[in-house]
Structure 1
């Protein structure tokens, strides 16, 4: 059995140890401190030492234990330690492999909303550019020579704090650049971890005092340092920053070394040991974690999972919440990309994916689950407190009978839901959503409803206010807000078709009568999220009744007659069909800019029936089409097109409706024109 010595003390070292304990090898892991040892996994095949060794001690240890391979996974700036390890391997003629940090050269934070623990740049100018993409305080430990360059940072006199030698000329130079005295620390080093940590904490207190509305978890302090080596106190700065949970901006990359990334070393070691990648990996776990509305709402179970996972994945806002775990991160909310990332990183045994609120309420967790189906992952679920539940409990409202919808990242026809439900709660997605919904409430005759807005819940600037729609017409709120609507006059949704003809304002435009409308809607077989085209909409009776039946769907009423267009608008407002879009024009030209329909009703084609059907079927071969006709010529054209275009076999019915009309003391039946209804 092969015998491996691993020098660790980093995340890469811990992950390599977790990988190697599952291999047919003996492993000894060496770290510098007891704390480093406490982070390592335990296994019968691995022993651990927790003290520093110089090169001579390493040579003795390698010779005594007869190691076959030495892995160096120490910190990228631990140049002295790496030199000792490499020298010991050369002296003992034992193979040496350096493990390189995958992301140690990334300085671009403008496209990454999270704050990595270490950012590396080559020059002071790059450091200034990086800090200009941040807004929080800056702690300069680079001395006074580069201070003029750092004063080019946005709002530098407010943000920059500098530590310099206790020299009168240096102090004067700093103040002449516009730094207030409270931002200048005149001190003589060397500085241990405790002094660095105390200085960071002092700066944070000063910042919070001068900026009471700031949030250092969102706009953290950045420590700026040069790669000064052990004698320059570099290690102490890094450790202090880690303890204070602040990122470090490092000027000067680590020594460029030859070696393998963690992913590459995984495959290299599999080949060296003689195992395949599939044999080398224990089952990977994916934890789907609902974070609630803030870090304080994480469950203890979720907290333990984040402490023990190998990598944390999520959108930038989620990763900010998890910075203090100091884990590798992957910033994305693209679920296929997340899946690809997991599959391409077999060195990680445990992925934690963060979602705001709860994972079961309009959460991306469902989309990620679908992407992971059939993949070799064990999936765990950890619930969080969703913002609707917190909001309703705060209002003292029971939520068992509340109708829940979301406008976040999608179009929701709020009016169509509110008119049918006494209690409706919607997640919002834009600052002006509350104002736009309030305006629609008034336009659609729902000005008597009661609105409750919840914004920035569980944040320092939380807002919970109530009022009528008129009270919110000019107000904006944070994008991630909620609106709770109580409508005491809600009307239950009818389970049958056929609104009375008197429900509609008719004018002189032809209208599909109630009985015919009932059959047409039945033949359309509308689905919950249907997209319906009503071509030749007339007064809009078909379109409006359909819209009422599918509040989660979308209806487009296409009409060329100006009088008809006016009637459709008037009827849609009167009957509160806000999921109906009116399109002025003639089909098929007016359909080009619309989404592909799932259903279509053609009540009038203006002589373009063939072109309309060609367009509808070219965009969706599975579309459901219903056509009404009153002439035999139209029926003949439909049948000819069915053969020419190889359309599905149609269902054809003819209906003639007779209704009673009072004539003196009698009721006489009056017949309407027979109507053909053709369904494909």
Structure 2
């Protein structure tokens, strides 16, 4: 005999919104499984019950074992295939190699219900789950649209989220907090970012969805993906310690980043390369490594001002610290402090196939050293020498002011291109 699993989505109003098909499936089941609050909706069920307390994989494994010979129903919140247990259950059933029949009967998801209550169209809303996920990257991701639904947990609750937005001056959002949607404790409240940041966490129910609707909030704080040098704080009087805008545009383009790329910026100085890379890799991670303590507050200011919370600043002298970072898809070395051989060796051992390593050379000595390094290691590389001139006023006229020439060694690791 082969059993079956019927996965039923249920709202906070319990049986009231379930279809007759869902109710019949429960009535015919030999075992009913779910969280405590879900099982309480069915006091009349006379069969066996299996309560979920902790350990999701073990719990699902038990259900699959029972379903090999019996018909069972599993209760889950809302739409089980929307940030619910449905995806993992289907994966585990397939991996078990059984012939268990699986049927999913959904209810509206929490986001659908929240949008209806807030009178927000749901066709263009983007969902971000912070449930058991880090907060870092949230601000960067909300630069990609105007309407968002945030799935929260006790650690990353709506008050903490609002305080985090406040830290990055992301204040011009309409926030709608939806709690216990569909249930007798349902509550819908609208806040400004500052109002919610000042609310007591004790006044927030754990079952909630937080909606964000852009009002007058400019993208990236009003700064573009590629910015002029004047938009960055720089360390003075050391001539700014910044890769100039025209060179920066070429470097970031040649790194061939994707939204999910991991990028290292070694010798970050002002952080300008890392910041513009972070805007392109908005769903990825960027690591700025800098050993000059005077540069650290400068990078932090630029990180905050450009809204790139997917950027992590690491105070170290490379190659120290590189082994602890996730493998990169792209690396830029703007300064090596005499450690270029160790840095390149570590980078090339970790770089993903097809990934890019760009070395910046401003002296003839560095050009010669990098050339020999590439040639002796038989890297796939190309060298470009860039020089730009920018107009400057001269009395009633305009003249060109030449910037220092720079050599870029663009090294590609063997393998498929990213």
After superposition, the Cα gap between the structure-2 partners of 1:400 and 1:306, relative to the gap in structure 1 and judged at 3 Å, is same
Quote the residue 1:362 is aligned against. Answer: 83
Structure 1 position 389 matched with structure 2 position 100: no
After superposition, the Cα gap between the structure-2 partners of 1:607 and 1:613, relative to the gap in structure 1 and judged at 3 Å, is same
Alpha-carbon distance in 2 for matches of 1:563, 1:388: 45
Alpha-carbon distance in 2 for matches of 1:441, 1:314: 35
Kept in 1, the 8 Å contact 2:389–2:400? The answer is: no
Kept in 2, the 8 Å contact 1:403–1:421? The answer is: yes
Q: Tell me the SS of whatever aligns to 1:409.
A: coil
After TM superposition, list the pairs within 5 Å mapping 1:655-674 onto structure 2.
Answer: 655-663=386-394, 664-668=396-400, 670-674=402-406
After TM superposition, list the pairs within 5 Å mapping 1:277-426 onto structure 2.
Answer: 281-282=1-2, 284-296=3-15, 297-314=17-34, 318=38, 324-325=44-45, 326-329=47-50, 331=52, 337=58, 340-341=61-62, 344-345=65-66, 347-373=68-94, 375-376=97-98, 377-412=100-135, 413-426=137-150
1:405-427 deviation per Cα after TM superposition (whole angstroms, max 9, x unaligned): 11112135332234443322211
After TM superposition, list the pairs within 5 Å mapping 1:457-606 onto structure 2.
Answer: 457-474=181-198, 475-476=200-201, 477-491=204-218, 498-508=226-236, 509-591=240-322, 593-606=324-337
Q: Which runs of 5+ in 2 are unaligned?
A: 413-418
After superposition, the Cα gap between the structure-2 partners of 1:460 and 1:598, relative to the gap in structure 1 and judged at 3 Å, is farther
After superposition, the Cα gap between the structure-2 partners of 1:601 and 1:516, relative to the gap in structure 1 and judged at 3 Å, is same
1:322 Cα deviation from its structure 2 partner: 5.8
Q: Which moved more, 1:332-341 or 1:607-616?
A: 332-341
Question: How many residues end up aligned between the 2 structures?
Answer: 397
Q: Which runs of 5+ in 1 are unaligned?
A: 1-280
Structure 1 position 456 matched with structure 2 position 180: yes
TM-score normalised over the length of structure 1: 0.52
1:434-484 deviation per Cα after TM superposition (whole angstroms, max 9, x unaligned): 222222322222233332222333344333222222222342123342222
Q: Which entry has the higher C-alpha Rg, 1 or 2?
A: 1
Quote the residue 1:129 is aligned against. Answer: none
Alpha-carbon distance in 1 for matches of 2:71, 2:354: 44
1:268-322 deviation per Cα after TM superposition (whole angstroms, max 9, x unaligned): xxxxxxxxxxxxx44x544343323452343433333233334445556555556
After superposition, the Cα gap between the structure-2 partners of 1:336 and 1:607, relative to the gap in structure 1 and judged at 3 Å, is farther
1:305-343 deviation per Cα after TM superposition (whole angstroms, max 9, x unaligned): 233334445556555556653334374776764665466
Alpha-carbon distance in 2 for matches of 1:347, 1:666: 82
CA RMSD of aligned residues (A): 3.4
After superposition, the Cα gap between the structure-2 partners of 1:579 and 1:539, relative to the gap in structure 1 and judged at 3 Å, is same
Which structure has more relative contact order (CA 8 Å, sep 6+)? It is 2
Kept in 2, the 8 Å contact 1:319–1:331? The answer is: no
After superposition, the Cα gap between the structure-2 partners of 1:472 and 1:342, relative to the gap in structure 1 and judged at 3 Å, is closer
Quote the residue 1:237 is aligned against. Answer: none
Alpha-carbon distance in 2 for matches of 1:384, 1:659: 61
1:626-675 deviation per Cα after TM superposition (whole angstroms, max 9, x unaligned): 223214544555565557777x6334443333333343424436243122
After TM superposition, list the pairs within 5 Å mapping 1:575-654 onto structure 2.
Answer: 575-591=306-322, 593-616=324-347, 621-622=352-353, 624-630=355-361, 631-635=363-367, 637-638=369-370, 649-654=380-385
1:488-543 deviation per Cα after TM superposition (whole angstroms, max 9, x unaligned): 2244689x953222222223341122222222222222233333222211111122
Alpha-carbon distance in 2 for matches of 1:547, 1:318: 42
Kept in 2, the 8 Å contact 1:314–1:333? The answer is: no
Kept in 1, the 8 Å contact 2:255–2:358? The answer is: no
1:596 Cα deviation from its structure 2 partner: 4.1
Alpha-carbon distance in 1 for matches of 2:305, 2:357: 26
Alpha-carbon distance in 2 for matches of 1:615, 1:572: 26
Kept in 1, the 8 Å contact 2:329–2:352? The answer is: no
Alpha-carbon distance in 1 for matches of 2:383, 2:85: 44
